Structure 1
Amino acid sequence: MAPKITVIGSLNMDLTATSAKRPAAGETILGERFETFPGGKGANQAVAAARLGADVTMIGMIGQDPFGDELTQVLKREGIRTEHIGRADTSSGVAVIQVVDGDNSITVIPGANFQLKSAYIEAKRKIIEESDIVLIQLEIPLETVAAAAACCKEADIPYILNPAPAQSLPREIIDQAAYMTPNESEAAILFDDTDKALREYANKLVITKGEAGVIHSGGHVPAFPVQPVDTTGAGDTFNAALGLKLASGIPLDEACRYANAAAALQIGSHGAQAGMPTHEEVIAFMRQNGQNPL
């Protein structure tokens, strides 16, 4: 039976501009390409988990605009349950993404995502209780994250906290998480000493380091060598794959190997969701790279 994953988080429309360099302050440059892609860290993780074979439910908020309609339809086409996505009397969230040499910088305008309130999470408690694992990020209000964390704790449901965009967090949110997945810069904001944090949060803190792979208290899990096209959504793919494997009872080190493979495949395409792989593609990729997947 497929693991039941509930994603609590954002839905955005990504507005992506690709150029040879980033403009300096006051500078106008000619870009190479402009595209729109459905995104938002919550929706990205939901799509990635569904592609990998999970039974996914999305809890979030969209606005009263065509972007909201499109974002919902995209999730439906992926087989994701969307009946728990609310509609706020505002615009949907958008992310403005600048891609240069395969790397990206992102400005997020939250819109309806910041109308996802604690009371809405409380009303969805039954959905959380029926989950095998919950994925949460920080593109929604912090009090909503705290409410979701509390619901998970009370229901004894593990949740993965992907602390992005980076910000300081109350200790109880960190303590209640079953797993935390910051990248290097996010970890530096959360913890004064990441080596100490890895010891303190053994088997819980997973720090992603891009092409250098992943570190956790059990050691280092190398990345797969690939040429990046667009890193947007790589972290979301990693989190979804990690959640899928952990919900299936796979040990953390092996779950990280699988998640690294999924993220490596994802960064080979433009757009956060477009290149998210299936489980079969991840398995084939791991075998091609001499790995024996679980």
Structure 2
Amino acid sequence: MVRPGNRRVVYDAPAPLAAPFNRRDGHYGPVTMVTVFGSCNMDLVAYVATPPRRGETVHGRAFSTVPGGKGANQAIAAARAAANTRFLGAVGDDGFGSRIRAELGDSGVDTAGLRTVEGHSGTAHIVVDDDGGNSIIVVGGANDTVDRLHDGDAEAIADSDCLLLQLETPLRGASEAAEVAARNGVRVILTPAPAEPVPESLLSNVDLLVPNEHEAAVLTGESDPERALPALLESVPEVVVTLGDQGVFYGNRAGERVRMPAFSVRAVDTTAAGDTFVGVLAAALARGTDITRALRRGSAAAALSIQRKGASGSMPVEDDIHEFLERATD
């Protein structure tokens, strides 16, 4: 199998005549594994009519604490979409850490690679307005210790079909994880968030980059996704730019372009919609689903998630996605 961009080659054994039953996820087909290396937080969410401006105090109408973080969110989304999923990262030795670990485990994520370190877990302070929009402040905490691979991490990454990365942990760790994946023919998907310049040492090992419009603009200086996409393809073989309620825009170096409109639903809370999309997209690609169908599945999952409050708690399971897509094609 030639990896995207022809940057590295992996030789696969001949496929069996009949696909085996995958006992780990209940599907017929080869056993697949999605590994997430990244962040996990406790989300502290305040719901307001209108977010405060600088120096302003406003009344909130609700508050919740929900396990989240871009890495954990993507892992939970992939697991709920029936992918075998493992998480590599760190939590603090506090109550938040225990809750994050439990949420991941209850969602079907393998947490053997989730370390507990001294100190507080990562937190995300989120304000959600009545239009479903949000603003977020992330405090790294234990995530700041995810700056390198630890015992067993390299082996776990090498034994994967897909590696998901984000930028809420130190770049050094993400770069090391991507390099191990690249050496072992594992597909690397990077969400470049929070938005910041990404070094070539990391991008050179990325197969699929998934920025939103803002992140694409930061990386390229181009505010128009039509112009940003070809600029990004100079660094990586495949790109999906997520466009919120305008859908997603995919392209690759072979010249293929796919525009996938968003499903029309009423947004209640857009927190983690992008992570839901990426996790479900990765689960589909790991199973060998073609890119157009994978984009549609990810978009359906994101549409379901924004109709519910919260991050990880809003993510749909496989049956929800299947039923939603069946209704959408009726």
TM-score (structure 1 length as normaliser): 0.95
Map 1:1-294; keep pairs closer than 5 Å.
1=22, 2=25, 3-100=32-129, 101-120=131-150, 123-193=152-222, 194-197=228-231, 200=234, 204-217=238-251, 218-290=257-329
- For the residues of structure 1 that align with 2:292 and 2:221, how far apart are their CA atoms? 25
Q: In the superposition, relative to structure 1, how do residues 4 and 199 fare at CA in structure 2: closer, same or farther (>3 Å)?
A: closer
Deviation track 1:57-94 (CA, whole Å, cap 9, x = no partner) reads: 11000011110011101111112111111112121000
- For the residues of structure 1 that align with 2:171 and 2:117, how far apart are their CA atoms? 18
Secondary structure class of the residue paired with 1:271: coil
- For the residues of structure 2 that align with 1:42 and 1:202, how far apart are their CA atoms? 21
- For the residues of structure 1 that align with 2:33 and 2:236, how far apart are their CA atoms? 25
Deviation track 1:231-263 (CA, whole Å, cap 9, x = no partner) reads: 011011000111011111112122111110010
Listed as ranges, the gaps of 5+ residues in structure 1 are none
Secondary structure class of the residue paired with 1:256: helix
- For the residues of structure 2 that align with 1:196 and 1:260, how far apart are their CA atoms? 22
Partner amino acid for 2:61? E
Q: In the superposition, relative to structure 1, how do residues 29 and 192 fare at CA in structure 2: closer, same or farther (>3 Å)?
A: closer
- For the residues of structure 1 that align with 2:236 and 2:104, how far apart are their CA atoms? 34
State the aligned residue count: 290
Partner amino acid for 1:204? E
Partner amino acid for 1:87? T
Q: CA deviation at 1:29?
A: 1.3
Larger Rg: 2
Percent of counterpart pairs with the same letter? 40
Deviation track 1:12-40 (CA, whole Å, cap 9, x = no partner) reads: 00000001111122221111101111101
Secondary structure class of the residue paired with 2:303: helix
TM-score (structure 2 length as normaliser): 0.85
Question: How large is the RMSD of aligned CA atoms in angstroms?
Answer: 1.5
Contact 2:165–2:189 (Cα < 8 Å) also in 1: yes
Listed as ranges, the gaps of 5+ residues in structure 2 are 1-21, 26-31, 223-227, 252-256
